[in-house]
Amino acid sequence: MNAQTLICAAALPFAVPTSRWDDSVAATLSPAELLLYRANLLGSDLTVTNFGGGNTSAKLVEVDPLPFAHVNHVHPDAIIALAGSSGSEAATQAIWGGRIGWLPWKRPGYTLGVMLRDYVAANPHLEGVMLAGHGIICWADSARACCEHTVQLIADAVNYLNAKLADKPAFGGRVVADNPDRAAIAADLMPRLRGLMTSARNKLGHWSDDPEALEFTGSADFARLAVLGTSCPDHFLRTKIAPLALDPARLRDDGYLAQQIADYRAIYAGYYERCKRSNSPAMRDANPVAVLVPGVGRITFATDKTTARLAGDLYGNAVNVMCGAEAIGEYIALDEQEAFDIEYWLLEEAKLQRMPATKPLVGKIALVTGGAGGIGAASAARRRLRGAGRPRWRSGRGCARRVYQAVRQRHGPRRCV
């Protein structure tokens, strides 16, 4: 067997959304409540949003350009895949036969609003518009029709992509098999990477070996696509544009890892210097967020465990996008300056500034011995309040379990082991 044909399973398919509109609920709601109901229905469906809701109501333009009562704007993976491919316009035509229009990439803002208004006025038969490199906007006469129309358009896109993906393995097929020792390799690698990521704040890592992560990192096209970076702002504001890809054969080599991290930081600083404007905010942390290792999976780093896991999930969305985009053409990454302007958009910067203040122990790992009772238990709860990850108990299992459950109940999961 040659390496290029190591594994030839068909690509993992996209999930098909279905409408969850309930007339008996909708009948009881005011117009304002209906709008919220529609946003919540779409926002809580992971096949419609990127992750965990919230991006269906993203402000697309600074003016309201469309003369319709009910307008939706969404960017689920399948839609961004269509939007971010060299085959975007042709696929839009093939799927909807002219019912859905197509506009080239334009950063969200006033100009896009004007473009959209003029385009829709000139094409009054349209039921929506695909925005290249971004997502879709669509409309209908009633809240229910708009919700169902949105879900149907996503389902159309998913079915089209899944038909293309069924024919062949994703990303040119697998060339690196899943490493059976990947959990141990990740456990060894993560603290060493964490120690190399010098910055103002400590970091925690989250490892995932979900099928999508292994399919992508082990594929023939991995190296080519990883450097292109993620194209959706919802993704890269959390993941950075590009991940750090590591050679699985050199993970034991500390010098190699140090050089890779240093090179990544230098490349990020170069990107900042090339693209910065006179009023750009200061450079953000230059360390990688996503670290990808063929056969091992995806590790993401952030100042706390939840943010690290979220960044990993969003990189997973970015991989889905690349998979779908490559199935109908070539994946098109965002232009570097455009990406920078979004990453350092003053509006986004203001949003980040409004995030709650970081607790003093965030990014640190606390090891509490004798934590089953007395001073140890109080110390564990106290550390958790101050943001430290994973207090750990070493003895007194029954007692420790009660403390563990109390801390977990009060402060949330994924913090104690």
Q: Per CB under 5 A, which region of 4-12, 128-136, 297-305, 392-400 contacts Zn ion?
A: 128-136
List binders of Zn ion among 292-311 (CB under 5 A): none
Site string for Zn ion, 217-256 (x = CB under 5 A): ----------------------------------------
**Three-class DSSP labels, 51-119:** CCCCCCCCCCCCCCCCCCCEEEEECCHHHHHHHCECCHHHHHHHHHCCCEEEECCCCCCHHHHHHHHHH
Distance of closest approach, residue 108 Cβ to Zn ion, in angstroms: 6
Distance of closest approach, residue 134 Cβ to Zn ion, in angstroms: 6
Q: Per CB under 5 A, which region of 23-31, 53-61, 173-181, 291-299 contacts Zn ion?
A: 53-61
> Closest CB to Zn ion among 287 and 320?
320
Distance of closest approach, residue 232 Cβ to Zn ion, in angstroms: 9
Q: How far is CA 69 from CA 37, 38, 95, 113, 320, in A?
A: 15, 13, 25, 16, 32
403: which DSSP letter?
A: H
List binders of Zn ion among 129-148 (CB under 5 A): 135
Strands, sheet with 128-131, edge to edge from the N-terminal-most edge strand: 70-74, 135-140, 128-131, 100-103
Distance of closest approach, residue 58 Cβ to Zn ion, in angstroms: 5
> Closest CB to Zn ion among 61 and 257?
61
377 token code pair: 């238990």
Q: Per CB under 5 A, which region of 4-12, 58-66, 110-118, 320-328 contacts Zn ion?
A: 58-66
Distance of closest approach, residue 319 Cβ to Zn ion, in angstroms: 19
Task: Name the E strands within 179-243.
Answer: 204-208
CA distance 268 to 242: 9
The reply on whether position 58 binds Zn ion by CB under 5 A is yes
Q: How many residues bind Zn ion (CB under 5 A)?
A: 2
> Closest CB to Zn ion among 128 and 135?
135
Distance of closest approach, residue 240 Cβ to Zn ion, in angstroms: 19
The reply on whether position 324 binds Zn ion by CB under 5 A is no
Distance of closest approach, residue 337 Cβ to Zn ion, in angstroms: 19
- Cα-Cα end-to-end distance for the chain: 43
CA distance 331 to 91: 13
CA-atom Rg of the chain in angstroms: 23
> CB atoms < 10 A from the CB of 94, how many?
11
Q: Per CB under 5 A, which region of 51-59, 202-210, 280-288, 320-328 contacts Zn ion?
A: 51-59
369 token code pair: 């011995």
The reply on whether position 84 binds Zn ion by CB under 5 A is no
Which residues form the interface with Zn ion (CB under 5 A)?
58, 135
